[in-house]
Structure 1
């Protein structure tokens, strides 16, 4: 009489055709990283041409009207910057900053308060006269949820709120770049700004890009009084010159700023490149270590070598997010975001993923969930798996929720005879969404009884199943008890996807099969 084999969560035995009892433990792991083992319930995995999940400033993903519905808490006009700590969100647009006290989760969600204006119905520059409460073309911003730091560009200053604002038109506490809150003149000195764009705070330092002075200023501590002079200048050898250049130590209209792992990232817009300083500069005129978008430090050709994953044309975002070792760059003139899964260490390195385009050779505009309008895009933070992007031409903020359905490995409920005393285990892997993720045999491995991992015997039958990639596989093995007389027998399957976030992994409850 044939034996029935079924799935059971209790201990049991498998009676195979050759007689004898043998426990079979099938432990299933879907690991997104070969090295990290952090159990979570979902995977972070951006992919090329990924659509946004939430839109602010518009009722849907096909609308792109400035001030849609009038000037109010739900509309916006040409957003230039955004920042978030993962909970609060601030967006600078049209002489005001809109603030959401909790991170928005639905389309056209109204803001909770506004800075720079007495209410949500006005957008007047320096309304009532320049002061600690007014704004004129606010640009880049930074927040940790406690402080808020904002570039007030046309007033040639940076404003600091020592505690995060809680009421409309709340006055700033400190001004940088001006001696007081009523002055707005520009200059290239240690205590003045010419045209600030980007700002961030990193390891207690305040860092500001001063575009038309072609420099980046660093304060070794966040100023607590007005008009404090910077400590370090990058892009110039002193605080009173403002020349351009195409070398490792010069800029031409720097805008974007980012910092990670004590590295400084600068978007050198008119040189069509991004520069990486492997250490935050501590002396004037420091040289960059790596260039993105160009093969060397002396060329600045737009889309050098043609439009590709390695080329840059502009790059005008005031902020450069870096999260978990992943770098996000706004390639503004081609209306796309480039994602590097690891921080580049060599010049002209190609990006791994592109958002806003179908591939790295495309440069189209649009008003959809996965395209941007015909103006430079302004990137905000990437926090808690959410990427914030200002689509200036479409007067909207796009939020990409970097979470996809949990992939899974499934095994058939019983092994089958493979001949010559061997057994064959069949299964399948459901990975991501159709045509967005891929799996090769080298990325699906098996370990027998804790031994080293090797490729499974066969991966075949790729098909679309419920909009997922579904791969069939099998692996054959000798079911003889391992040395030492123990009956335990373990197969551990491991699937690796190259375009998923390496910080996350998946665990599935072990089970056994028995007769």
Structure 2
């Protein structure tokens, strides 16, 4: 009888295809095989990067390496992960594609890109890294809040100018505007084409989502159209009262902030109601709530199930991360569970002191945004004027942006390496985009 785990047999591939078609994600074979996790590296100019596989194997990668290959023994159909357990000293490296998957798919095209910790491009300041004025044009910003890199360009929520700008490619002059008729207007309004203090951004193949914070709603714009076709949190496109002028309910919002998507739906941070809502695609009513026991409450607290003025949200294959701003922490919720299982910035689920009393690599002061990317976690630690990178599931940061390598300083300035109350972050293969809010700019690393 043929060995069902013989990779060279016709039955192996036929049975594996049938198994995947049936939605069975369990390992097909009970025998481990040796594969190699391999790929390319760009920009590794110094030593210090250590890669770690799901089996615990760690490999140090020499400076100047452009390729890597790490043997790993796993069953066919088993899940694999690759992480960076140690960062180089003067740069930061990210796994931009292939950090997790199922053996043997995708294990040979992993892509690692290393970035400088000094900015290479600036939006909103006409190319200057030391100016921090604000303005109203296609080249200036006024208190930007969030950025969204989509691989083709950059969206920025220009909060103070009541608009969202889009920059094509690496151009730092905006080519498209949402919320205004032109690049010289900053009017406030409530309609399908007007925005009042935009904050969060997210995108899917159908179009762009924007949280219209002071209109207490979220809008959807199909394709590249600047006229909204869907509204969350209000009964129509002209209403704007918090909670629709009444009590908290499943169909209301109050000052929504951050937002993100997974494969099946939309997350909106309902900051004024101390909760995060999840909407399945096709529905304007949420199916899940974080931070509250039901859709009618807006309580505050410091527990594994409560939030205080949250502002940011991000998702990974493992679960949901929420920037619990008022509690000076970030919570992780595994899968679709609404009880947090991990906390960043605090020693436990009941502590909520800023910096836990002393600033360090494991503390936070009013985190505004969070981003899960490549198996790592980024936290925009706003009142400490920095952005922290947490490798894997570690709750101690491995890299700091904005403080020239120091985890114990919180100074603010306008240079190519410093921030003044940053509030947003996005990543694509061109770089790491950090929204330096009070310097009225976006820096790219």
Pairwise TM-score range, normalised by the shorter structure:
0.7 to 0.9
Q: Kindly indicate whether residue 364 of structure 2 is the aligned counterpart of residue 312 of structure 1.
A: yes
Secondary structure at the aligned position of 1:82 is classed as strand
Structure 1: state its 5+ residue gaps.
1-27, 401-515
- The change in CA–CA distance for 1:65 and 1:189 in structure 2 (over 3 A counts) is same
Corresponding residue of 2:181? 118
Match of 1:390 in 2: 435
In the aligned structure 2, how far is the partner of 1:140 from the partner of 1:81? 6
The residue number in structure 1 matching 2:216 is 156
Contact 1:251 1:271 in 2 (8 A): yes
In 2, Cα distance between equivalents of 1:328 and 1:267:
11
Q: Structure 2: how far apart are the matches of 1:51 and 1:146?
A: 35
The whole-number CA distance in structure 2 between the counterparts of 1:147 and 1:201 is 12
Q: Could you say what secondary structure the match of 1:154 adopts?
A: helix
Question: How far has the Cα of 1:379 moved from its partner?
Answer: 1.6
- Contact 1:149-1:158 at 8 Å conserved across structures: yes
The CA deviation at 1:38 is: 5.2
> 1:330 — aligned with what?
380
Q: How does 1:243-258 map to 2 (within 5 A)?
A: 243-258=299-314
- Counterpart selection for 2:331 from 253, 271, 275: 275
**TM-score normalized by the length of structure 1:** 0.63
Q: 2:437 & 2:383 partners in 1: Cα distance?
A: 12
Q: Which stretches of structure 1, 4 residues or longer, exceed 4 Å deviation after superposition?
A: 28-40
Which SS does the other structure have where 1:44 is aligned? strand
Give the Cα–Cα distance (whole angstroms) in 1 for the partners of residues 353 and 122 of structure 2.
34
> Shift in Å at residue 280 of structure 1?
2.5
Q: Which has the higher contact order (CA 8 A, sep 6+)?
A: 1
Q: Is the 8 A contact 1:85 1:145 kept in 2?
A: no
Q: Is the 8 A contact 2:329 2:364 kept in 1?
A: yes
Q: Distance in 1 between matches of 2:65 and 2:389?
A: 27
Question: Does structure 1 retain, via aligned residues, the 8 Å contact 2:115–2:431?
Answer: no
- Match of 2:360, SS state, is coil
Partner of 1:189: 249
How far apart are the structure 1 equivalents of 2:391 and 2:108?
A: 18
Q: Equivalent residue for 2:418?
A: 371
Please list the CA deviations of residues 103-134 of structure 1 after superposition, one character each: whole Å capped at 9, or x if unmatched: 325xxx211111111100111111xxx20100
2:195 corresponds to which of 135, 147, 166: 135
TM-score by length of 2: 0.73
Q: Distance in 2 between matches of 1:39 and 1:230?
A: 37
C-alpha RMSD of matched pairs (Å): 2.0
Question: Tell me, what secondary structure is at the counterpart of 2:383?
Answer: helix
1:25-64 matches, cutoff 5 A: 34=70, 44-46=113-115, 50-59=117-126, 60-64=128-132
Q: How far does residue 305 in structure 1 lie from its aligned partner after superposition?
A: 4.8
Deviation at 1:45, TM superposition (A): 2.8
Answer yes or no: is the 8 Å Cα contact 1:84–1:143 preserved in 2.
no
- Going by fraction, where is helix more abundant, 1 or 2? 2
> Quick check: 1:99 aligned with 2:144?
no
Q: For 2:208 and 2:69, how far apart are their aligned partners in 1? A: 35
Q: Distance in 2 between matches of 1:29 and 1:75?
A: 39
Distance 1:38 1:55, change over 3 A: farther
Q: For 1:164-313, what aligned pairs fall within 5 Å after superposition? A: 164-165=224-225, 170-187=226-243, 188-223=248-283, 228-281=284-337, 286-313=338-365
Give 3-state SS (helix, strand or coil) of 2:214's partner.
Answer: helix
| Per-residue deviation, 1:29 | 6.5
1:146 Cα deviation from its structure 2 partner: 4.0
Q: Deviation of residue 200 (structure 1)?
A: 1.1
Check conservation: 1:86, 1:383, Cα contact below 8 A. yes
1:377 partner SS = coil
The structure with more radius of gyration: 1
Q: CA deviation at 1:395?
A: 0.7
Per-residue CA distance 1:226-251 (angstroms, 9 max, x = gap): xx221111111111111100000000
Matches within 5 A, 1:424-503: none
Whole-Å separation in 1 of the counterparts to 2:69 and 2:353: 37
Alpha-carbon deviation of 1:143?
1.5
Size of the aligned set, in residue pairs, is 340
Secondary structure of residue in 1 paired with 2:114: coil
Q: String of CA shifts for 1:301-358, please: whole Å, max 9, x gaps.
A: 11115111100111123xx2222112111001001000012134xxxx2010000012
Cα distance, 1:84 vs structure 2: 2.1
Answer yes or no: is the 8 Å Cα contact 1:263–1:276 preserved in 2: yes
Q: For 1:393, what is the secondary structure of its paired residue?
A: helix
- Flag the 1:43–1:263 CA change in 2: closer, same or farther, 3 A: closer
Q: Which runs of 5 or more structure 2 residues have no equivalent in the other structure?
A: 1-63, 72-81, 83-106
Distance in 1 separating the partners of 2:357 and 2:186? 43
Whether the aligned pair in 1 keeps the contact of 2:380 and 2:425 (CA below 8 Å) is: no
